[in-house]
Each structure stands twice: as structure tokens, then as C-alpha cells.
Amino acid sequence: MVLTKADYYMSDIITRIRMDGIKDINPRPKYSDGVPAHSIFINHTFRTYDLAKGEFPICTLRPIAWKTGIKEIFTIYQKPTNVISEMEEMGVTWWGDWDIGDGTIGQRYGATVKHYDLLNRLIEDIKNDPYGRRKVMSLWQEDDLRSGPGLAPCAFMTIWNVRGEYLDMVLIQRSGDMLTASGPGGINEVQYAALLMMIARHTGYKPGRFSHFVANEHIYDRHIEQAGEMFARFNEREAAEWSGDNWIKADLPKPMLHINPEKTNFYDFTIDDFSMMDYESMKPQLKFDLGI
């Protein structure tokens, strides 16, 4: 087992929240028992990974359900839907708590992508005007947000740039539950790095830089113990890696997501076309009481 770049980012941000974090007031989310879900947060975190150099964003400090994360990307961009039963059929089971009462999550996420044909427009722009600087795909559409209830998109915007033979992308996120989803090497980074890889394959480029900006990165008050455990796991693993005469870290294999080389069409990918190589996470898994 080897620490990843994401693990180092995670340790750093946990430290920053412990030192400089602010507790929110009158939070919107509640836990399943109805208690307000307070969080301790910092604003403006940023991470960047060079996929071409093997810096895949996945955390080893606890097991990450990377396959389910990629399946969720399918529900948003490949077979876009807002119907919870359809998401569940595709293997994504965590949206039930956001049912607005009609079996959907409202005019959000996949419904927005489908309504504005966002993915196909992005692909055509990359193909037809590779060095154009307007490749923005936004789930934050005011008409959709005002059309009815639903969770406002958290990871809501991607910006794409061609750089020679590489395709780069930055993910913009308004708010992030750090330990369960938005943090370094968590579900959000894994799934959007996978999206970059899929779009790069479809458009004939190599996946390059993946970066992630989170405006409000927070740890819920019921996740403090878990944050401490992840921080302790990092310190224990780092001490082991740097023990003895290993003052320069060994060049050990790092986790990397691979895609079936025979697939080139974004709409043909299935979860069976993905494999995570050299990934080993620390156990046991941690449990989190979600703020809904």
C-alpha cells in the first residue's frame, strides 16, 4: 500500500479545517433523526492532478466506491436521467433521500444535461474548435433551479481545454461534504477524472490535467471522529513509508484507472470497461451519518 497525492491533500485539508475551520449557523441539511447537520468549513480549496503522469485522484485512507461513482456519471451524462428508479437500475442507490415526491430529484443533474444537450455540445466543440476557450458545461441553469424543488447541484461546472495532444478539465463545486464525497480522492474526484478520460478517448486526445475547486469544503459535526481516524491513518502510513533510510520515497506503483482500449465511443462505455490498478485502501470502512 502506498500513499497517493490525494492522501496528502486530504491530510492537509483536515489540518486546515481543524486549525482554521468555522462552524456554520442555521444549516439547511438535517440528519435522518431531524437534528440540524452543522459543519466546520473552510472556503476555497484546490487540487490538481496530472493523469498523464499517473496522478489519479483516489484516496487510500478508506475504501472508495469508485465503481458506483462512475455509474453515477453515466446517470448524469451518458444516459441522463433524474428518475430515482432509473438511477437505481444503473447501480446508484443514494438519491432516495432527495426524492421531491414524484420519484425524481427534480429538474436537476441528468435532466439538465438532457434538456440542454450539454454533453453532445461539448463533444462537438472539442472536435470542431479545439483551442476555443468557451468549453464550459454547467448544470447551474437558473430556469431549471426555479422550475421546482430539488437539491441545487453541488459539483456543477466543468471547464475543458485542449493542450496539444492532451485534454484538460477543471471541476467547479459550490459545496462539498469532504469525507464522503468532495474531498481529495473521493467519489467526486474519481468520477469526474473518469469523465475526463472518457471524453478524451471519444475526441481523440489523451487525458491530461484534472483539477478540482471547492468553494465551501466542510466536515460535518458527526464526522469529526472519522476525520481524526483518517488523519491518524495517514500519519501511520507516512511514517512507515519514510522509516529507516528511505529519505527519498521509492517509486512504487500508484493507483490508476484504466479503460478498455477497444472502446472509443462515450456512449458505449459500461462499468465493465473500467479497472482500477494497484489500488489498496485502508480498512475498516468508516461510517458516516449523512446531512440531507
- Give the catalytic positions in this structure: 154
Residue 170 and residue 212 in contact, taking contact as beta carbons nearer than 8 Å = yes
Joined together, the cell numbers standing for residue 117 give 444537450
Strand-pair partners of 136: 159
**Residue whose grid cell is 473518469:** 194
Joined together, the cell numbers standing for residue 136 give 464550459
Q: What is the dihedral of CA 135, 139, 144, 145, to 10 degrees?
A: -130
Identify the CA nearest to 253 among candidates 60, 47, 70, 12.
60
Cα 149 from Cα 136, distance rounded (Å): 25
Strand-pair partners of 214: 45, 173
Strand-pair partners of 168: 161
